[in-house]
């Protein structure tokens, strides 16, 4: 519609319809925006939670595969600073590697690796790194699930939570050493 | 219609357009952030996935190596050797590429396999022995069942020394238990409080090693091997550990005072430790390395034992032609045959031993003969030679007159205090070189038709010739085929004798003549057998028990239900059970268990009934060449002796040989150390 001399105004009905359409379009646009703003963080949180759980699982898996000793066992326990998951193995060169997993108060999964002389116990090297954060819980159990099979299995259940998104992964690891 | 050229303020609908523009701007601002985040997350996921793939790819190299180690014939000869020595430990590792045409998880994988000395980082070898196995000392050990209390296992270490290197001082006895097993302090037999205190009394040191523990009994002043218990052919040390489970990969060793000699260190040479290094390389060049140490239990040779497996067969040269009269072997044959089959096509023939034996009546009275005089009889009577013919598929026939390298004569011990009964003999010829030289370049590996008979045949002078029959398997219409001057046995009566006195008649149940061929072979599919042959000729009289102790071997670990050993004997002059008088005739036992089968009852196992070839062949009358399977339990793992008892009742036996073949259950004990980098 072009304005100009002689132009007619809108009727009330036309105005109401236009307002109704405008309100509907605005509501839809706001809803889309709202979804967009909410979904991005949710997807991000979900992705972060998956990655944290995966990362924790990857490291525990590879360490436990080499394990000659895993403590505590065999009851189910929650990994924490007070009750760490301790994995150790000795190489052919008589170096003992002890890996300690803890979850600190900041919900970070810490992996401390200490290498020492097996016989004397003298430390050779030590380091610590954060494997994952946003860990809400990690439980572990190292037992012999099948009474007819002496093979022991380490079952680790990792739950990572970022915002309202949580991801749980279960790893069953059979150490390769005797 | 005119087209608007610009938007005008207040124009209806402009608000909607504004909102759309705002949304586009906000969305445009969010989109790069979202894409960046997605990209980061995707990369992180890819890294985890790649590393996981590499890890599993490298692990597949370890699996492939384990399979190769476990499967016979998949390793090069230097790694597959029966025992490793210094030359093996110094070799470059064998390199294998895994699936180059079809990469594992898109990664290329190769692995190396090499040999590790089991005592590495534990003991230092001396310059003379280096890391070669001790030749005079054997060390073994095994789980012995539950310990003195619940939850404990009992372990036994065996040390055997043959005494050939003089007095032996023990400086250290050691045992390594893998991770998860703990020594029970005070449980060893060397530290039990005894009065008077034994010279070997020692409290062991327990030290962490390779994830497990070493238990070592150290003697500042070496203690003589002779002073350890128990007296006899071996010394035993026991101790207990927790938990009560069978250990895997454990080993034992002994350090002696012979610091400059060949027997300074002795260890379980049956335990081999392989180092496996596996590397997975991704398409982008990143690598993941896994190093693993895996063990394999092989086979431990000791003393007179041989490695391989055997096939024994043979036939009689004399049989009873009258089906209504037992034990009257009256017909002597020119030659008889037996088929040897079942030796694997990939076998290597290690030995072909030919045995023949018989009873002779001339001279009749050998009472008072010395052993040397008895041993001279086979040659003086020209029974120390036989004609051997071997027909093998795809190869020219072998035929030769074979002369015995070992000849033994014997007489019935009862004769000394009673009547004369002639004499018996046993001859042995090692024809390995003779036969294998003939078959060189062919596929002959022992299988074929073996025919053995009299070496001296023909018309001969009528004044000294003895009739020989032509053998046929059905024994119908058998006729005299030729004559000999030197019969390999004396049949029951004079019907075959035209003249002379080599066959003098009525001692019917003494008469026998037979032969046997024993082929010892090795092959990738039968590797892991240990054979002991007792072929000292024995003439066993009536109503006695003749113990034969077979020693100098080491029974390997056996799986449940597995055949522990195979037993074959070649016994002459066994008679059939007397059903009328029900008299006891004979029995043979191994470690107290009487041997028997459908053809050979337990109370008359030597009944001159043999299956030719063994077990499944035709039943032949005239000789006992019997093979029995010995179940696990009759012979136990780590047994070093077997007691074979021949017990006679109403008859006399001539034992030519006894063979025991022990199965070795080659197995891998899993991964000892697994290290992922």
Task: Identify which has the larger pLDDT, B585 or B283.
Answer: B283
Residue-level pLDDT at B307 = 60
Cα B563–B568–B572 angle (5° rounding)?
160
Q: Which has the closest alpha carbon to B215: B189, B195, B246, B193? A: B189
Nearest-CB residue to B30 (from A26, A36, A48): A36
B90: left (phi over 0), alpha (psi -120 to 50) or beta: alpha
Band (B40; pLDDT cuts 50, 70, 90):
confident
* Nearest-CA distance A23 → chain B (Å): 9
The per-residue pLDDT for B6 is 57
> Which residues in B lie closer than 8 A to residue A32 (C-beta atoms)?
23
Q: Report the C-alpha gap between B449 and B336 in whole angstroms.
A: 10
Residues of B in contact with A69 (CB under 8 A): 179-180, 211
In the stretch 171-200 of chain B, residues with CB closer than 8 A to chain A read 178-180
What mean pLDDT do residues B2-18 have? 59
Quote the distance between the C-alpha of residue A119 and its chain's center.
Answer: 37
Q: Highest mean pLDDT: which of A20-29, A117-126, B185-194?
A: A117-126
Residue B559 CB neighbours (<10 A): 10
Q: Is the pLDDT of residue B8 over 60?
A: no
Q: Name the strands in the sheet holding B251-256, side by side, starting at the edge strand that comes first in the sequence.
A: B205-209, B212-224, B169-177, B251-256, B265-267
CA separation for the pair B512, B249 (Å, rounded) = 52
Tokens 């009727």 map to which residue?
A11
Domain boundary assignment for chain A: 43-173
Cβ separation of B51 and A58 shorter than 8 Å?
Answer: yes
- Integer Cα distance of B511 and B490 in angstroms: 6
* CATH number for the domain running over B137-267: 2.60.40.1510
Q: Averaged over B518-540, what is the pLDDT?
A: 80
Q: pLDDT for A101-149, tens place per residue?
A: 999 999 999 999 999 999 889 999 999 999 999 999 999 999 988 887 7
How far apart CA B157 and CA B189 sit, in angstroms, is 11
The packing angle between helices A12-66 and B14-70, to 10°, is 20
* Res A1 pLDDT > 50: no
d(C-alpha B180, C-alpha B492), whole Å: 69
Q: Residues of chain A with pLDDT > 90: what percent?
A: 53
Interface-testing mutation among A67, A91, A92, A111, with chain B (most B C-beta atoms within 10 A):
A92
B4 against B201, higher pLDDT: B201
B238, pLDDT greater than 90: yes
Is residue B593's pLDDT more than 80?
Answer: yes
Verify whether the Cβ–Cβ distance B209 to A118 is below 8 Å. Answer: yes
Q: To 5 degrees, how large is the angle CA B631–CA B633–CA B634?
A: 70
Question: CB B366: neighbour CB atoms within 10 A?
Answer: 21
The minimal CB distance from A178 to the residues B19, B178, B275 is found for: B178
Both structure tokens of B415: 């004769």
Above 80 in pLDDT, residue B517? yes
Q: What is the DSSP letter of B163?
A: S
**pLDDT above 80: residue B235:** yes
> Quick one: pLDDT at residue B260?
87
Using an 8 Å CB-CB cutoff, list chain A residues near B208.
Answer: 90, 96, 118-119
Q: What is the mean pLDDT of residues B365-378?
A: 91
Q: Give which of B241, B271, B253, B281 is closest to B61, Cα–Cα.
A: B281
3-state secondary structure B331-393: EEECEEEEEECCCCCCCEEEEEEEEEEEEECCCCCCCCCCHHHHHHHHHHCCCCEEEEEEECC
Q: Residue B381 phi/psi, 5° resolution? A: -100, 10
- Asked if the Cβ–Cβ distance from B674 to A2 is below 8 Å, we say no
Give domain limits for chain B: 31-113+283-292, 137-267, 306-663
Instruction: Count H helices and E strands in chain A, helices first.
Output: 1, 9
Nearest CB among A29, A55, A89 relative to B23 is that of A29
pLDDT tens per residue across span B133-180:
887 888 888 787 889 999 999 998 989 887 888 889 999 999 999 888
pLDDT tens for B431-459 read: 998 999 999 889 899 999 999 999 999 87
User: pLDDT-based confidence at B72, cuts 50/70/90?
Assistant: low
* Contact status of B207 with chain A (Cβ, < 8 Å): yes
pLDDT score of B383 more than 60: yes
Mean pLDDT, residues B360-366 taken together: 85
Q: What is the pLDDT of residue B608?
A: 86
Percent of chain B with pLDDT over 70: 86
Q: Is pLDDT at B15 greater than 70 in this prediction?
A: no
Contact: B676, A66; criterion CB under 8 Å? yes
Section B394-419 average pLDDT = 86
Residue B214 has pLDDT above 70, yes or no: yes
Is A150–B37 a contact, with Cβ atoms under 8 angstroms apart?
no
pLDDT beyond 60 at B472: yes
How far apart are alpha carbons B110 and B96 in whole angstroms?
Answer: 6
Nearest to B623 by CA among B338, B412, B230, B265: B338
Instruction: Select the highest-mean-pLDDT range: A39-53, B25-39, B168-182, B458-472.
Output: B168-182
The interface predicted TM-score (ipTM) is: 0.78
What pLDDT score was predicted for residue B306? 61
Does the pLDDT at position B18 exceed 80?
Answer: no
How close A154 comes to chain B (CA, Å)?
15
pLDDT at B497: 41
**Does residue B495 have a pLDDT over 60?**
no
Cβ of A113 under 8 Å from any chain B Cβ?
no
Whole-angstrom Cα distance, residue B115 to residue B272?
8
Confidence of residue B561 (pLDDT cuts 50, 70, 90): low
Write down the pLDDT at residue B299: 58
Of A136-145, B269-278, B494-503, give the lowest mean pLDDT range.
B494-503
Res B666: pLDDT: 52
The pLDDT value recorded for residue A2 is 47
Mean predicted confidence (pLDDT) in A31-46? 80
Chain-wide mean pLDDT for chain B? 84
Task: Considering only residues A10 and A46, tell me which one the structure prediction assigns the higher pLDDT.
Answer: A46
pLDDT for res B584: 64
pLDDT tens for B286-338 read 899 999 999 887 655 555 556 678 899 999 999 888 776 666 788 899 999 99
What was the pLDDT predicted at A135?
95
Give the integer Cα–Cα distance in Å for B524 and B542.
Answer: 45
Distance between CA atoms of residues B469 and B664, nearest Å: 44
- Mean pLDDT check: name the lowest of B78-82, B272-276, B339-343, B390-394: B78-82
For residue B427, name the pLDDT band (cuts at 50, 70, 90): very high
Task: Show the CA angle centred on residue A84, arms to residues A78 and A90, nearest 5°.
Answer: 130
Q: How confident is the model at residue B74 (pLDDT cuts 50, 70, 90)?
A: confident
């Amino acid at each position: 519609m072009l304005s100009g001399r002689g132009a007619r105004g809108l009727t009330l009905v036309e105005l109401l319809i236009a307002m109704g359409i405008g309100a509907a379009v605005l509501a839809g646009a706001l809803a889309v925006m709202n979804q967009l703003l909410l979904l991005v963080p949710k997807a991000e949180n979900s992705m972060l939670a998956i990655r944290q759980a995966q990362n924790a699982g990857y490291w525990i898996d590879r360490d436990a595969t080499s394990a000659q000793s895993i403590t505590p066992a065999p009851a189910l326990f929650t990994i924490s600073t007070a009750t760490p998951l301790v994995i150790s193995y000795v190489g052919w060169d008589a170096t003992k590697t002890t890996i300690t997993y803890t979850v600190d108060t900041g919900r970070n999964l810490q992996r401390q690796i200490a290498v020492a002389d097996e016989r004397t116990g003298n430390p050779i090297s030590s380091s610590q790194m954060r494997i994952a954060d946003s860990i809400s819980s990690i439980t572990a159990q190292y037992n012999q699930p099948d009474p007819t099979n002496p093979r022991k299995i380490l079952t680790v259940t990792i739950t990572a939570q970022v915002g309202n998104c949580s991801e749980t992964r279960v790893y069953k690891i059979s150490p390769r050493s005797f | 219609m005119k087209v608007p050229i610009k938007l005008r303020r207040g124009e209806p609908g402009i608000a909607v357009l504004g909102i759309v523009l705002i949304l586009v701007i906000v969305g445009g601002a969010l989109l790069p952030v979202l894409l960046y985040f997605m990209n980061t997350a995707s990369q992180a996921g890819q890294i985890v996935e790649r590393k996981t793939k590499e890890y599993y790819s490298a692990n597949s190299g370890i699996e492939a190596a384990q399979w190769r180690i476990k499967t016979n014939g998949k390793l090069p000869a230097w790694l597959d050797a029966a025992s490793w020595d210094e030359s093996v430990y110094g070799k470059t590792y064998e390199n294998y590429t895994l699936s180059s045409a079809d990469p594992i998880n898109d990664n290329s994988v190769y692995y190396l396999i090499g040999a590790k000395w089991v005592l590495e980082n534990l003991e230092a070898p001396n310059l003379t022995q280096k890391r070669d196995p001790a030749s005079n000392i054997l060390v073994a050990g095994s789980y012995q069942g539950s310990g003195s209390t619940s939850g404990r296992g009992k372990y036994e270490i065996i040390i055997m020394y043959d005494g050939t290197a003089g007095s032996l001082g023990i400086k250290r006895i050691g045992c390594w238990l893998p991770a998860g097993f703990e020594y029970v302090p005070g449980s060893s037999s060397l530290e039990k409080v005894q009065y008077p205190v034994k010279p070997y009394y020692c409290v062991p040191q327990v030290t962490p090693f390779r994830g497990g523990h070493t238990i070592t009994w150290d003697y500042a002043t070496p203690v003589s091997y002779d002073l350890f218990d128990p007296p006899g052919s071996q010394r035993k040390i026991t101790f207990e550990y927790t938990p009560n489970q069978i250990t895997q990969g454990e080993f034992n060793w002994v350090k002696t005072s012979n610091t400059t000699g060949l027997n300074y260190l002795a260890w379980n040479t049956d335990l081999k430790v392989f180092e496996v290094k596996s590397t997975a390389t991704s398409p982008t060049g990143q690598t993941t390395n896994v190093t693993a140490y895996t063990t394999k239990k092989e086979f431990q040779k000791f003393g007179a034992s041989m490695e391989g497996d055997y096939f024994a067969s043979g036939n009689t040269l004399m049989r009873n032609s009258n089906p209504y009269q037992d034990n009257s072997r009256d017909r002597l044959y020119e030659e008889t045959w037996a088929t040897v089959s079942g030796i694997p096509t990939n076998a290597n023939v290690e030995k072909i031993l030919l045995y023949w034996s018989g009873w002779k009546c001339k001279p009749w009275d050998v009472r008072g003969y010395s052993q040397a005089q008895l041993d001279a009889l086979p040659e003086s009577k020209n029974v120390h030679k036989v004609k051997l013919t071997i027909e093998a598929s795809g190869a020219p026939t072998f035929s030769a007159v074979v002369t015995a390298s070992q000849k033994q004569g014997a007489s019935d011990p009862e004769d000394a205090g009673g009547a004369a009964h002639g004499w018996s003999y046993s001859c042995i010829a090692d024809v390995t070189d003779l036969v294998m030289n003939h078959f060189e370049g062919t596929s002959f590996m022992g299988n074929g038709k073996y025919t053995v008979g009299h070496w001296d045949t023909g018309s001969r002078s009528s004044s000294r010739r003895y009739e020989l029959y032509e053998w046929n398997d059905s024994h119908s219409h058998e006729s005299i085929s030729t004559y000999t001057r030197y019969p390999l046995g004396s049949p029951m009566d004079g019907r075959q004798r035209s003249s002379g006195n080599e066959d003098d008649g009525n001692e019917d149940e003494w008469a026998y003549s037979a032969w046997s061929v024993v082929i010892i072979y090795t092959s990738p599919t039968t590797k892991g057998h240990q054979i002991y042959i007792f072929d000292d000729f024995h003439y066993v009289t009536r109503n006695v028990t003749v113990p034969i102790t077979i020693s100098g071997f080491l029974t390997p670990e056996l799986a449940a239900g597995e055949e522990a050993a195979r037993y074959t004997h070649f016994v002459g002059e066994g008679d059939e059970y007397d059903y009328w008088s029900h008299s006891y005739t004979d029995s043979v036992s191994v470690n107290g268990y009487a041997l028997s089968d459908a053809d050979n009852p337990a109370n008359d196992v030597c009944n001159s009934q043999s299956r030719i070839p063994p077990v499944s062949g035709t039943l032949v009358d005239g000789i006992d060449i019997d093979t029995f399977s010995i179940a696990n339990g009759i012979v136990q793992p780590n047994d070093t002796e077997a007691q074979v008892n021949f017990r006679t009742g109403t008859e006399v036996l001539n034992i030519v040989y006894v063979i025991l073949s022990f199965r070795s259950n080659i197995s891998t004990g899993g991964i000892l150390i697994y290290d992922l980098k």
